[in-house]
């Protein structure tokens, strides 16, 4: 087997038993790696209607065949499990150095079940694994934890993925943090980690699986680096990070403001340019990335360097809360990183609190202070209260769906899909995104696929995914489905979503690493398989077509801005999507024929007994 170690480290924290789980080449060829591999392992082990935080549930850290190779933009890992926030399939990915170290430790990933009787962390180094005491680390923030583990192991090359206090307290949108402020943020998998008393996974080593054609891989890597450097994504993100899009997004109506009720807001103070002007900005690049879209703010406060916000966070704590104060956005981001909170879910929940306060539903007495829109100090205070589980912070820490229930509001007011809070690309500005959010494998996900990029002009010729009118719901279904499948694959391979590579290149890379013969058709089928497998997991957990929807707060036409008067026709797009996907309109499940076509025979047996 080439490109893989062919084994996952399986650990039961209740019994402290560790064993290698062998992965066959046929299994890997089918599920490839990363989040899809995690889904396949979860599917095998899950029980229907389970409590996501029950000890028997699995939590998987996984790499892919691209991870650790000379290819650029491949230092990514995925975490998968049943989401404590949504109750359905949950996954999150992150970059940094940890993915290379995890693969370099000699396993393709780690599967954790059970619950330790006291806080522990895992240490993996070149084929050896240890469960170590983390009692003294419990209570440390994510930065302190990473440093303490490196100090304890006396190994600077160790990379650490850990939880902060949010994960320890099992806050439903707790993130897993690695390499300073990189976050596997979405779906609350940090809470799942906390429920197992697992404070961190530390990895070190340089064990690399053999490549099928190493010379070809190096050639492809050189070509890819040249191509990336010659691409717009490189110069734009290197110069200004993802915040380079903030002002364009607002002009296009893509950046939501005032809890999704406006798309007109002055954003000139919170752009990538503004960040560069206000602070000393250093680029952060994941291992092997020629771009470096991450921001590090040097001496943000005397002697304190912090990770800079990216687009999602800037808009979430900015326009969504009607806040123009860049400093407070940086502080809120830093607080979330320190304590391990998903900035998207945190920001959307806080914006909902402002909204409810304006309506008079959430009072000063309940909050402890007034919540006028744009009050930057209130935003910081609410993040602190969420982390501390103090007062109203406890309600906000459950996410918007639970907040709506708590305050007796219609669920259509909760800005989420399937319980996962909406990211900062408005489905009214790119109708393909409305469909993508409604059907995303983990709920409202802006990364699979990021259809706004298609309708801005970035086509995928191999699959005939072509730009179309962004404010129209016509002809979107097939393109969205294909693009979701393609972008889902990025998290299997694993590869950064910003990598401007063609499908033909991806196939050549995969084949030269593994010796397989994947063509464009087979690759898309693998993406389809992944989407359907994750769908099957969520179906088993109770998901139906009724869950494939957008809340009204995020779909009702606005009265000003570039999307004024326009509303996506979700049902129309959804019907086309279901037809293309081969999903049953009544049940919301993949049809038996589709599952068989994709080789998901085990799912057929359980879904259609």
Q: Which residues bind other proteins (CB under 8 A)?
A: 229-237, 239-249, 251-252, 254, 271-273, 310-312, 425, 446-447, 450, 452-453, 456-458, 467, 469-471, 497-498, 562
Pick 212 or 231: Cβ nearer other proteins: 231
Compute the least distance from the CB of residue 467 to other proteins, in Å: 8
Pick 234 or 337: Cβ nearer other proteins: 234
Pick 409 or 497: Cβ nearer other proteins: 497
The residue count of the chain comes to 609
Q: Chain centroid to CA 258: how far?
A: 24
- Distance of alpha carbon 450 from alpha carbon 311, whole angstroms: 14
- Distance of alpha carbon 516 from alpha carbon 369, whole angstroms: 61
CB 234 within 8 A of CB 291: yes
Pick 295 or 534: Cβ nearer other proteins: 295
The two tokens of residue 85 are: 């926030």
Q: Which strand (E) or helix (H) includes residue 546?
A: none
- Distance of alpha carbon 493 from alpha carbon 142, whole angstroms: 27
Compute the least distance from the CB of residue 200 to other proteins, in Å: 26
Closest to 44 measured CA to CA, from 113, 105, 102, 106? 113
Compute the least distance from the CB of residue 453 to other proteins, in Å: 5
Pick 131 or 459: Cβ nearer other proteins: 459
Q: How many Cα atoms sit within 13 Å of 158 on the Cβ side?
A: 23
Compute the least distance from the CB of residue 375 to other proteins, in Å: 26
Compute the least distance from the CB of residue 183 to other proteins, in Å: 12
Pick 487 or 589: Cβ nearer other proteins: 487
The DSSP code for 188 is G
Pick 252 or 524: Cβ nearer other proteins: 252
Compute the least distance from the CB of residue 237 to other proteins, in Å: 8
Compute the least distance from the CB of residue 434 to other proteins, in Å: 16
Pick 200 or 447: Cβ nearer other proteins: 447
Compute the least distance from the CB of residue 198 to other proteins, in Å: 28
Pairing of strands 420-421, 120-125: unpaired
Pick 35 or 604: Cβ nearer other proteins: 35
Compute the least distance from the CB of residue 555 to other proteins, in Å: 18
- Distance of alpha carbon 102 from alpha carbon 124, whole angstroms: 8
Q: Which strand (E) or helix (H) includes residue 324?
A: none
**Pairs from 445-451 (Cβ < 8 Å, separation ≥ 24):** 445/186, 445/420, 446/312, 447/487, 447/497, 448/484, 448/487, 448/488, 448/490, 448/491, 449/480, 449/483, 449/484, 449/486, 449/487, 449/488, 450/425, 450/487, 450/497, 451/476, 451/479, 451/480, 451/483
Output the furthest CA–CA distance in the chain (Å, rounded). 67
Q: Chain centroid to CA 557: how far?
A: 28
Could you give the strand order of the β-sheet that contains 294-301, starting from the edge strand earlier in sequence? 280-284, 294-301, 304-307
Compute the least distance from the CB of residue 104 to other proteins, in Å: 26
Q: In sequence order, what DSSP letters do the residues of 23-59 get, joined into one string?
A: --HHHHHHH-SHHHHHHHHHHHH--TT--TTSTTS-E
Is residue 484 helix, strand or coil?
helix
Pick 236 or 525: Cβ nearer other proteins: 236
Pick 243 or 402: Cβ nearer other proteins: 243
Compute the least distance from the CB of residue 344 to other proteins, in Å: 11
């Amino acid at each position: 087997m080439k490109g893989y170690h062919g084994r996952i480290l399986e650990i039961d924290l209740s019994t402290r038993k560790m064993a290698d789980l062998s992965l066959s080449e046929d299994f890997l060829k089918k599920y490839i790696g990363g989040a899809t591999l995690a889904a396949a392992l979860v599917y095998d082990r899950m029980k229907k209607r389970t409590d996501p935080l029950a000890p028997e549930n699995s939590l998987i850290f996984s790499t892919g065949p691209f991870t650790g190779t000379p290819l650029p933009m491949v230092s990514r890992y995925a975490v998968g499990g049943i989401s404590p926030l949504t109750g359905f399939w949950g996954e999150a990915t992150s970059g940094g150095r940890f993915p290379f170290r995890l693969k370099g430790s000699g396993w393709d990933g780690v599967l954790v079940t059970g619950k330790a009787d006291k806080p522990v962390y895992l240490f993996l180094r070149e084929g050896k694994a240890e469960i170590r005491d983390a009692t003294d680390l419990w209570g440390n923030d994510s930065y302190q934890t990473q440093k303490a583990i490196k100090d304890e192991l006396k190994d600077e090359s160790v990379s650490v993925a850990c939880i902060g206090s949010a994960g320890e307290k099992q806050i439903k949108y707790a993130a897993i943090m690695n390499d300073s402020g990189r976050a596997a943020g979405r779906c609350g998998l940090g809470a799942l980690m906390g429920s197992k008393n697992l404070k961190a996974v530390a990895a070190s080593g340089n064990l690399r699986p053999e490549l099928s054609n190493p010379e070809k891989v190096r050639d492809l890597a050189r070509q890819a680096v040249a191509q990336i450097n010659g691409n717009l994504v490189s110069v734009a993100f290197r110069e200004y990070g993802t915040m380079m899009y903030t002002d364009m997004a607002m002009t296009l109506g893509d950046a939501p403001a005032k809890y999704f009720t406006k798309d007109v807001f002055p954003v000139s103070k919170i752009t990538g340019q503004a960040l560069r002007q206000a602070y000393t900005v250093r680029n952060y690049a994941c291992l092997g990335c020629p771009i470096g879209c991450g921001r590090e703010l040097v001496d943000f406060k005397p002697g304190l360097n912090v990770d800079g916000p990216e687009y999602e966070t800037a808009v979430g704590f900015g326009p969504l809360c009607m806040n123009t104060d860049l400093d407070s956005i940086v502080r809120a981001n830093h607080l979330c990183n320190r304590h391990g909170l998903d900035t998207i879910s945190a920001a959307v929940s806080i914006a909902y609190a402002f909204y409810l306060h304006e309506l008079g539903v959430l009072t000063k007495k309940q909050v402890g202070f007034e919540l006028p829109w744009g009050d930057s100090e209130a935003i910081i205070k609410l993040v602190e209260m969420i982390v501390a589980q103090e007062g109203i912070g406890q309600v906000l820490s459950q996410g918007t769906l639970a907040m709506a229930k708590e305050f007796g509001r219609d669920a259509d007011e909760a800005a989420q899909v399937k319980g996962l809070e909406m990211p900062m690309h408005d489905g009214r500005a790119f109708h393909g995104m409305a469909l993508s959010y409604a059907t995303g494998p983990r709920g409202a996900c802006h990364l699979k696929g990021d259809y706004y990029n298609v309708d801005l002009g970035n086509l995928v010729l191999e699959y005939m995914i072509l730009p179309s009118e962004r404010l129209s719901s016509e002809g979107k279904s097939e393109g969205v489905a294909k693009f979701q499948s393609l972008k889902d694959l990025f998290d299997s391979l694993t590869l950064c979503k910003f990598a401007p590579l063609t499908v033909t290149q991806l196939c050549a890379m995969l084949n030269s690493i593994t010796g397989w013969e994947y063509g464009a058709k087979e690759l898309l089928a693998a993406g389809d398989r992944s989407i359907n497998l994750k769908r099957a997991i969520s179906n088993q957990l109770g998901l139906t077509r009724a869950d494939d929807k957008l809340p009204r707060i995020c779909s009702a036409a606005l009265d000003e801005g570039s999307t004024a008067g326009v509303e996506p026709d979700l049902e129309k797009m959804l019907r086309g999507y279901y037809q293309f996907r081969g999903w049953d309109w009544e049940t919301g499940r993949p049809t038996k024929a589709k599952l068989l076509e994709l080789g998901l025979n085990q799912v057929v047996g359980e879904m259609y007994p």
